[in-house]
Structure 1
Amino acid sequence: MRKILGLCLTVLVAALLVSYGVWTTQRPMGHYLSDLRIQLVANEGMPAGRGNLLGIEARLYPTDYQDLNRLHRKLAAWLQQARDQGLLNDKTLVVLPEHIGTWLYAAGEKNQFYQADTVGQAMHWLAWSNPVQFLRAMAQAEGQPRLADAYLRMKASGMAHDYQQVFGGLAREFGVTLVAGSVVLPDPRLEDGQLHIGSGPLYNVSLVFGADGQPLGQPQRQMAPDNHQRRYIKAADPAALQVFDTPAGRLGVLIGSDSLHADYYARLNDQAVQLIAVPAFLPNRERWNQPWRDRRGVDLPAGSLTEAQAWRHLTLTGQAPRSTAKAGISVFMQGQFWDQNSAGESFTHAPGAVPAGQPLEQRSDGARMINVWL
């Protein structure tokens, strides 16, 4: 009798494991209606043959990432509308927001993942749907908490490929230089023009793609992650701050909170930078108008300004005469990822100028563009 019960139990466990294995491979996709609206909310200067900085304040949701064709269709529709309005030319530099590539970990997942109510629930579905990748990532995780590191690491190889395919493809399709926001990857590097990952710590990086779709330089790593993210995203050596030669001029990229540090502007001055792109992300929609929170290495007392005032004061706008760049642009991510929303008003900036943008209370739904002619 015991043998029969043991055999039945073994068969039952095997059947459950096989069923679970089959379940993890299924990735059905439902119909999804993308919001392709985009509004030009700031257009500074006049065309003078020197190009322009065009920021795309993307409004995205988890289901936009379910299928790469769907994501491409939405981004391409926004760029096509920019082209129709005469905002794209062979000297245009398009800037996308921080972490627009990080959300690629949401590609190709099960419907339960997208239908979750919170980020935490979605991450549980991510782990259950990819058990082998998750266990491998947990073993390699270096940051704290280890779960946050593992969730970002577990699909990194596919994310690196998709990031280059999507954003390099858009640069080539529209014939522009494109600062592809950022993506979090373990120890990323370019080899023979291809983005690869390593097994080391996580870095928040941005690639700049030329009009031929090929990367310019190495991935630019973030040097001063925000207070929360620095627990699992490693800060890069400031000596790795690069300059990219583009048709519009010499470009520096400061990812998110890097743009709040005066020392980095001085380093860019030493390399004769003319333009500065800031892909940015700020969680919590209410935070933009809340008191400024202290940042490590930033000489500004907490509560002395609002977040909005501080970002504008500490970026290129407030750096004159310490920064010799002639223009820049800060582009924030919008949208809703489960229970996590985002804040920030994208704005153009030049030393001593009043930043151009659109107040939050005046905004309509859909994505937004800001443009400055050089």
Structure 2
Amino acid sequence: MSPARERPVTVATAQYPIEAFDDLDGFRAKASRWVQDAASRGAELLVFPEYGAMELASLLPEGERGDLATQLHGLQPLREAFVATWRSLAVEHGVTLLAPSLPWRRGDGRFVNRAWLFGPEGRAGHQDKQVMTRFENDDWGVVAGHGLKVFDTPVGRLGVLVCYDSEFPLLARALVEAGAELLLVPSCTDTQAGYQRVRLSAQARAIEQQVAVVHSPTVGEARWSPAVDINIGRAGIYTPCDHGFPPDGVLTIAGDATPGWQLARLDLSRINALRAHGQVNNHADWSHQADRLAPGIAAVALG
């Protein structure tokens, strides 16, 4: 582990509103305000939510932004400005930054839900969502990406589970086995039930894998958008429920729906140490599941 990873890291997770802009300068100004705010408070890792970039659809003609299929194509000419804006802010403030995800047209003409991660020197990588919701599959035409990645950054090795992906334990396990020290969960949910599914799944992944999880949701209403018209969630950072961490595993969580940042200090070395010295050995005991299932499941009649 590099020296940068041996010290605590200040993490900021956004509770991010979908807003409308008059022009690209409005988008750039908002992005700058948000990054400046977090960086001025000492944040080294900034996490923005799933589909936060859909606010760029407000720049499209009304007929395009109000149509699910048309807006996907309309957003593509804005990709270069979007990437350049977030990359420059990461470099300017010397932070690692997960930008809001957006629909991205691949070379085969299909659209994926892509989250870009930028380092403080301008290097970039992306993670595409792996498991699609019914809305994405059936109504919107956004498809699954190909494979997971682990990102080696100045703040640690990061894995990204985009919203619904967090509800599938084997994806988190694969990232942790590949060396991920911290899992990022950007989300966009339009009901309390959807938000709670992602939140509780994030907490479950933290317990199962003995890892910290950072959750960033969209909030508020954008009635002009058929894709992200209602947004419900609370930004939070979750840890294992074990020595030296909150008994409920909640390091921080927003108290209400007010847009803004939740910040916390994370000592990844202390979390990693739980795998050797914790009250339980969830990470190491993962393989016991297969051992217990190998004999099969017996049916027992009691009546």
TM-score range, shorter chain: 0.7 to 0.9
Q: TM-score, normalised by structure 1?
A: 0.61
In structure 2, C-alpha distance between the alignment counterparts of 1:373 and 1:260, rounded to whole Å: 25
Amino acid at match of 1:53: V
**Are 1:331 and 2:194 counterparts?**
no
Shift of 1:212: 1.9
User: How many pairs does the alignment contain?
Assistant: 248
Partner of residue 176, structure 1:
95
**Are 1:246 and 2:153 counterparts?**
yes
- 8 Å CA contact 1:253–1:278 kept in 2: the answer is yes
In structure 2, C-alpha distance between the alignment counterparts of 1:57 and 1:309, rounded to whole Å: 15
* Alignment partner of 1:51 out of 1, 4, 9: 9
In structure 2, C-alpha distance between the alignment counterparts of 1:73 and 1:52, rounded to whole Å: 24
Query: Quick one: structure 1 residues 77 and 236, their matched pair in 2 at CA, closer, same or farther if it must change by over 3 Å?
Result: closer
Deviation larger for 347-356 or 205-214: 347-356
Runs of 4+ that moved beyond 6 A: none
* Alignment partner of 2:177 out of 270, 274, 280: 270
- The higher radius of gyration belongs to 1
Shift of 1:320: 5.2
Instruction: Find the residue that maps to 2:208 and give its secondary structure.
Output: coil
**Are 1:72 and 2:24 counterparts?**
no
In structure 2, C-alpha distance between the alignment counterparts of 1:242 and 1:55, rounded to whole Å: 20
* Alignment partner of 2:123 out of 214, 231, 241: 214
Shift of 1:178: 0.5
For residues 292-371 of structure 1, the aligned pairs below 5 Å read 292=193, 307-315=194-202, 317-319=203-205, 321-325=207-211, 327-338=212-223, 340-352=229-241, 353-355=248-250, 356-360=252-256, 363-364=257-258, 367-371=259-263
Query: Quick one: structure 1 residues 199 and 58, their matched pair in 2 at CA, closer, same or farther if it must change by over 3 Å?
Result: same
- 8 Å CA contact 1:153–1:202 kept in 2: the answer is no
Instruction: Find the residue that maps to 1:102 and give its secondary structure.
Output: helix
Q: Deviations over 1:248-301 (max 9, x none)?
A: 111001111111111111111210210111111012xxx21xxx4xxxxxxxxx
**Are 1:101 and 2:53 counterparts?**
yes
Identity fraction in percent: 22
In structure 1, C-alpha distance between the alignment counterparts of 2:17 and 2:137, rounded to whole Å: 25
- 8 Å CA contact 2:57–2:75 kept in 1: the answer is yes
Shift of 1:59: 2.1
Partner of residue 161, structure 1:
80
| Structure 1 residue ranges without an equivalent (≥5) | 1-47, 114-121, 128-146, 188-197, 293-306
- RMSD (CA atoms): 2.2
For residues 29-44 of structure 1, the aligned pairs below 5 Å read none
Amino acid at match of 2:16: A
- 8 Å CA contact 1:179–1:206 kept in 2: the answer is yes
* Alignment partner of 1:149 out of 66, 69, 80: 69
In structure 1, C-alpha distance between the alignment counterparts of 2:121 and 2:206, rounded to whole Å: 34
In structure 2, C-alpha distance between the alignment counterparts of 1:308 and 1:210, rounded to whole Å: 28
Instruction: Find the residue that maps to 1:319 and give its secondary structure.
Output: helix
Instruction: Find the residue that maps to 2:127 and give its secondary structure.
Output: strand
- 8 Å CA contact 1:260–1:311 kept in 2: the answer is yes
- 8 Å CA contact 2:98–2:115 kept in 1: the answer is yes
Instruction: Find the residue that maps to 1:322 and give its secondary structure.
Output: helix
Q: TM-score, normalised by structure 2?
A: 0.75
- 8 Å CA contact 1:170–1:213 kept in 2: the answer is no
